Amino acid sequence: MHSVTIKLEAASTMELVNALSTIATELAKRDAPESAAACLELTETLVAACDMQESALAGFIGRVDATAEQARWGYPSAQAWLRSSLGMRDNRAKERLTLARQRHRLPQVAERLAAGELSHGYAVTIGDAVARLDDTDCSQAETTLLEMADQGFSAGKVAAFGRRIRDLIAERDDTEDAPDEDSRRGYDKSWITTTRSLDGGRYVKGWLNPEDAAIWDGTLAPLAKPAGPDDRRDLAERTAAALSSVLSGGHKASKVTVICDLDTLTGGNAPARLTDGTPIPAAQARRIALSAGVSPLLLGKGNTPLYLGWRERFASSAQRQVLKTLYPSCAVRGCEVPGTLCEVDHVHGWALGESPTDIDQLALACGWHNRFKHTNPDQIQITKDQDGRYVYQLLPPSDARPSSGDHPPPGDIGPPDPALDWAA
C-alpha cells in the first residue's frame, strides 16, 4: 500500500494528478463494502468527484486541441488521440472533445461543473446543444438549459430542448437548415450512411434524389420480383438480395476476400475473417467458399510476382492483395483505419535504397501515419508481432522524452509518466 502526503495549495497540477492516480489505483483494488446503503452513498460521492475531474480533464483536452499538440505525437486529430491512445469509445471521445471546445463559451456551466454543482452529463448535453450557435444565442441557450437542469429535467429532455432551440434559431434566421439531421442535408444530392454491427453486418440509411431513385427502381425492381410461387421473402428481403446481386456483379465473381485455415474449409470450427478483421463463423465461410470457389493465395516467388526488388517503386496488385490480407488495419498500434483504405509503406524507406519492394519489406499505413513516419522517423518504433506483421509504435517527440534517470521537468503541466507504453 502506498501512502500519499501532499499540500494541496502548494502542489503543482502534475503532483495533484499523480496523487489522484495513486489513490484511484488503491481504491480500484478494494472490494465493495458489504452494506448496500454504504455503497449507494459512496457511489454518489465518487460520481460527484468524477464530474469535477471531468472539468479538469476538459481543460487539459482543450489545451491539447487548441495547440494541435497531438499532431507532434503522431495523431491526426484530438479525437483520434483520445480514441487510439487513451482507448475511449468514439462517442465518449466526441463528448469530451465537444465539452473541451465549448467550455470557454459556457462560463456558468464551467464554474458549476468545477464546483460539483452540475453533473458531467448535463455539461456535455449543454455543450453539444450550443456547438452550432453564435456567441449571443449560446449565452441565452446556456441560461435556459441550466434552468431546465435546475428544475429536475433529465439530461435527455434538456438535449431535446436544445435541439428545439437550434431549430427555432434556424427558422428565425431563415436558414435552409431543416429541423432534423437527415433533412438538413437537403434533397438535391443523394446520400447514404452505413454503420457496422457487432456481427459484421451493416445498417444502411439514406436518401436518393429523383434521378438516382429512377436508376434504383429501373435496376433493382426487375430483380426484386418473387422468384416463384414458393418465394416467401417479403419485398424488403427481395430488394436486399437484388442489391447484393448488383453489387457483386450478378454472375461475375465477387471481390470479397475471406481468410481462413484449410481445416476450416474441411469441417473445422476455427473462424475465418474478412480483411478488416471481422470474424466469420466457420460454417458461413464454407458456404461462401461453395458459392465463390477457392483461390489459394501464395506468398513468395511463384506464378504471382511478389518480389520486385529495387527497380520497382510501387507495389503490385498481387502484393496489395497479400498486404490487405495480413493487415486488417493500419500498422500503427491503435490506429483504426481499415487496411483496405491504407497506403503501401516501404518499412525502411524505398527512397533511401534501404528497402526493396518485396512483400516482406512492406506494410500498410494510413495516409496520415505514412507521411508522419517519413517526416518523423525518430518517433516510430518498428517491431514484428508473432504472426510476422510489422507493428509501428508511436513515440513522444524528442523534447518530451525524459532522459534515463531524470525526473520530469518542474511546472504545472509536465510530460507523461515515463512508464507509459511508448517505451516498450
What pLDDT, on a 0 to 100 scale, did the predictor assign at position 48?
A: 92
Flag whether 44 is in a domain.
yes
Angle (deg, nearest 10), helices 107-114 and 36-67: 140
Q: Which of 93-97, 253-257, 308-312: highest mean pLDDT?
A: 93-97
From 65-69, 155-159, 168-172, the region with the lowest mean pLDDT? 168-172
Flag whether 230 is in a domain.
yes
Please determine, for residue 301, whether its predicted confidence score (pLDDT) is greater than 70: no
Q: CA angle 184-190-192, nearest 5°?
A: 85
What pLDDT, on a 0 to 100 scale, did the predictor assign at position 419?
A: 34
- Cα dihedral across residues 74, 79, 82, 83: positive or negative: negative
What pLDDT, on a 0 to 100 scale, did the predictor assign at position 200?
A: 67
Over residues 346-359, the pLDDT tens digits come to 887 655 444 555 66
Higher pLDDT pick, 287 / 246: 246
Higher pLDDT pick, 132 / 182: 132
77 and 169 in a single domain? The answer is: yes
Q: Please state the domain count of the chain.
A: 5
Instruction: Give me 333's grid cell.
Output: 498500434
171 and 280 in a single domain? The answer is: no
Flag whether 94 is in a domain.
yes
99 and 151 in a single domain? The answer is: yes
41 and 154 in a single domain? The answer is: yes
Q: Which of 35-39, 257-261, 339-343: highest mean pLDDT?
A: 35-39
- pTM exceeds 0.85: no
Higher pLDDT pick, 6 / 295: 6
What pLDDT, on a 0 to 100 scale, did the predictor assign at position 177?
A: 46
Flag whether 322 is in a domain.
yes
Flag whether 77 is in a domain.
yes
Over residues 32-66, the pLDDT tens digits come to 999 999 999 999 999 999 999 999 999 999 999 99
Flag whether 178 is in a domain.
yes
Flag whether 301 is in a domain.
no
172 and 207 in a single domain? The answer is: no
14 and 154 in a single domain? The answer is: no
What pLDDT, on a 0 to 100 scale, did the predictor assign at position 423?
A: 28
Phi, psi of 391, rounded to the nearest 5 degrees: -125, 125
Share the mean pLDDT of the chain.
78
Tell me the mean pLDDT in the region 325-342: 84
- Structural domain harbouring 128: 33-184
Q: Which of 137, 154, 184 is the last residue of a domain?
A: 184
- Cα dihedral across residues 261, 267, 268, 271: positive or negative: positive
162 and 267 in a single domain? The answer is: no
What pLDDT, on a 0 to 100 scale, did the predictor assign at position 413?
A: 38
Instruction: Report whether 325 contacts 259 (CB < 8 A).
Output: yes
Flag whether 205 is in a domain.
yes
Q: Which of 141, 165, 184 is the last residue of a domain?
A: 184
